[in-house]
Amino acid sequence: NNNNNNSNIINNNNIHQNNTNSQLAQSIPNRPHMGEAQWEAEVRRLFVQERRPGDAVTLTAPSSGLMRCYVKRHKNMIGQTTHFSLFLNSGLHLMSARKRKKSKTPNIIFGLGNEEIFKDTCFCKLRANYSSTEFTLCSRNPRNNEYEVEEEGIVFQYMNSVNRSGPARILTILPSPDIPPATPGRGGDRSLLGSLSSAMRRELSPAQEHRLSLLSSRPPEWDEEVKTYTLDFKGRVRESSVKNFQLVAWDHKADRRGSDLLLQFGRQDDSTFILDFAYPFNAMRAFAAAIAGATSVGKH
């Protein structure tokens, strides 16, 4: 089947798998011990029984395997995307997201469950630059009820300078879930974007490394038979798409990628996408990364 990504296997030599996991330990500082079933049960308990949906979607995923979710894309009568919904694999509706109306750039607002989403009361926001290559996730600061302070992550995409006709690379930076965040800022080295810029220049300080998780997209392989770049999703993805992507740990000093999958997003059909993730992601951050990938302008 020429449209099936599942048979197209990554060449491990291109991602330096040998000894990579131990060398990349500093990129993903700490990993809690919990299985997929335990994590999903706890998310469901917090969301349904405790009625604490905010705690449910910010519960950090374990590192023992990928937590399985799926995303539904909803369109109107003329084929325009109206909003996205995130579900546990078992069907629990965790979050929804939609683009703000009359926004010139992809400014996405998120709500919990199937609640109606308003810009002034939404749970978190995903802001894009004008070219839709840089996305910043901000959550509400419980101390002052503002969004601009609590940076939850940066998704940055750029074209390969060596082969601009090939897929773009995605870099992602997240605050470590287990370490209190440093005093944030809107610019400079204290912002996540500033830290990502430092990492790209190989100038990130050890103190910053300790507080951050750095990730990169796994490079796809060119498949001569189907004339496209492909990734191996181990049976989870049914359709090829330029928006399919996978994230692994990134050692910024050596520009080396890890072998363990930390997030993958891929198309099942026109309206359904799989979203699987592990530590350091939670459902909110993973959903935001998926939305950034789905609405960005470049090829992955």
Residue 300 lies in a domain: no
Among 252, 174, 249, 197, residue whose Cα is nearest residue 218: 249
Residue 127 lies in a domain: yes
For 245: left if phi > 0, alpha if psi spans -120 to 50, otherwise beta; the answer is beta
Residue 80 lies in a domain: yes
Q: Are 118 and 142 in contact (CB under 8 A)?
A: no
Residue 3 lies in a domain: no
Q: How confident is the model at residue 26 (pLDDT cuts 50, 70, 90)?
A: very low
Residue 118 lies in a domain: yes
Domain that holds residue 186: 12-295
Is the Cα dihedral 274, 196, 99, 58 positive or negative? positive
The domain that contains 103 carries what CATH number? 3.20.90.10
Residue 4 lies in a domain: no
Residue 176 lies in a domain: yes
Residue 81 Cα to chain centre, angstroms: 20
pLDDT tens by residue, 34-91: 789 999 999 999 999 999 999 999 999 998 889 999 999 998 877 777 899 999 999 9
Q: Are 277 and 61 in contact (CB under 8 A)?
A: yes
pLDDT tens by residue, 220-276: 888 888 887 788 888 888 888 888 899 999 999 999 999 999 999 999 998 999 999
What's the one-letter identity of residue 60? Answer: T
Q: What 3-state class would DSSP assign to 156?
A: strand
Residue 153 lies in a domain: yes
pLDDT at 41: 96
- Counting the structural domains of the chain, the total is 1
Taking the whole predicted model, whether its pTM rises above 0.85 is answered as: no
Among 201, 193, 157, residue whose Cα is nearest residue 175: 193
pLDDT at 179: 76
